[in-house]
Amino acid sequence: MSLIGRLGKGARVSFLVFWLVAVVLALTASSCGDDDDDGETGEEVNEETAEPTQDQPPDTDTPAEGEPGDEPTAEETASEETATEETTAEFDEEAVADFYSGETVTLLVGFSAGGGFDTQARLLAEYLGQYIPGNPTVIVENMPGAGSLVAWNHMYNAGPKDGTLIGYNEGAQILQQELGNPAAEFDAEQVQYLGALTQDEVILVVTRASGITRFDQILPPDPEEELTWGGIAAGSLAVDAPVILQDVLDANIILVTGYDGNSNVVQAMESGEIEGFLPALSSVQSVYAEQFQNWNTIVALTEERLDDLPDVPSIFEFTDDEIAEQTITFGTIHPSRFSRPLAVAPEVPEDRVLALSQAVQQVLEDEEFRATAEQAGVALDPLTREELQSLVEDFFGMPDEARTRLQELLLQ
């Protein structure tokens, strides 16, 4: 008979109780030992943070409390969050698609047909509809007048505010609004931007018949030539620039304005009515590529020489005056960076603005679109919605001296 069997009934009960107590104490001691190994000091551990099992080994790479680890800094976290917001802006795609389905979206161009703005708008219109939820039809409408100021004002005041009208107009008119021109009946800080296909690098081109091959031929002290310069209207860069150059460099220029668009200016050059004008490099390389071969490029209104035209001097090579450089910078160079904004009215619902801006970016990533643009000679140097907005906001912080000088020159 076993030992337990030889014990009396009471003794057997006492033995079993003793054995159970011993087991419990042993398990408790084992648990305390594990806590010590984990470095805990009496703190309770909930079920979610219980020690790992054999199938889930502890993370030995996690730094101990108080020791440096690989956690991102606050600045890095904020930067990553901002980048994510810019690239993954959320909107109600179903609601946007319901609105745009069966609709027509108009790209409003403030210049006559055939110019650089018109060409780029028509190229964009071919692809944009397939990326807007609901796949609306996209058309181009030309509304020339006052260097696209008529189209700016129409978009802001009279046009539909539901996201079916996108303006594609001269960004230099933003300068006119900043300077307080009463004819600029829009607020560039309230406009909602979608992005831009390109940024302009503007150059001064002249006909060979003009006899001008260098910019200093129309500069003091003894100008050899007089340049008849053609432009559209006050507020357009092609007209503001010669006014500024006449003042800060005393350039020998006769300004002729009133053309509906650069296509008309080019016709006037070919007929001998004028001798030069200020187009964007992207335009002359695409729309006017054939004529460009017969023009002389005498200066670039840029801070540095252009990679595509390394032999053409920058405008800053002709001045070392700080006030003159500041006037040229805020009057011509900075506006050229946001000279082709895609924008909608302030009242357009945010969901549709986000959908449209995303559609523009998707077009720019479309390989077929990019190939077509390259074939057409359309240079792409895009800006996102956020980048364009930032450029405009920075521009409105121009120094008071530059604003006063430009008001005196351009608001006559």
Q: Where are the beta strands (DSSP E) in 110-154?
A: 137-142
Angle CA(250)–CA(182)–CA(343) in degrees, nearest 5?
95
Q: Are 279 and 116 in contact (CB under 8 A)?
A: yes
Give every CB contact of residue 141 below 8 A, 6+ residues apart in sequence.
106, 107, 108, 109
Q: Are 227 and 271 in contact (CB under 8 A)?
A: no
Determine the pLDDT at residue 287: 85
Residue 397, Cβ density class (10 Å: 0-12 exposed, 13-18 middle, ≥19 buried): exposed
Diameter of the chain measured on Cα atoms: 133
Determine the pLDDT at residue 234: 83
Summarised one tens digit per residue, pLDDT across range 179-188 is: 999 999 999 9
Q: Are 239 and 278 in contact (CB under 8 A)?
A: no
Summarised one tens digit per residue, pLDDT across range 214-248 is: 999 999 999 999 999 999 988 889 999 999 999 99
In this structure, what is the dihedral angle of CA atoms 385, 389, 391, 395, given to the nearest 10 degrees? Answer: 160
Q: Where are the alpha helices (DSSP H) in 206-349?
A: 237-248, 262-271, 281-286, 289-292, 322-328, 334-337
The alpha carbon of 107 is separated from its chain's Cα centroid by a whole number of angstroms, namely 18
Determine the pLDDT at residue 289: 87
Name beta bridge partners: 296. 206
Q: Where are the beta strands (DSSP E) in 209-261?
A: 227-230, 253-256
Q: Which two tokens stand for residue 171?
A: 């960004």
Determine the pLDDT at residue 88: 52
Gyration radius (Cα) of the chain, Å: 35
Residue segments in the chain with a per-residue pLDDT below the cut of 50: 1-87
How far, in Å, CA of 233 to CA of 395, rounded?
22
Q: Rounded to whole angstroms, what are the CA distances from 210 to 292, 298, 400?
A: 15, 12, 38
Determine the pLDDT at residue 379: 84
How far, in Å, CA of 23 to CA of 29, rounded?
10
Structural domains present in the chain: 93-199+338-410 (3.40.190.150), 203-336 (3.40.190.10)
> 359-381 burial, b for 16+ CB within 10 Å, e for fewer?
bbbebbebeebeeebeeebbbee
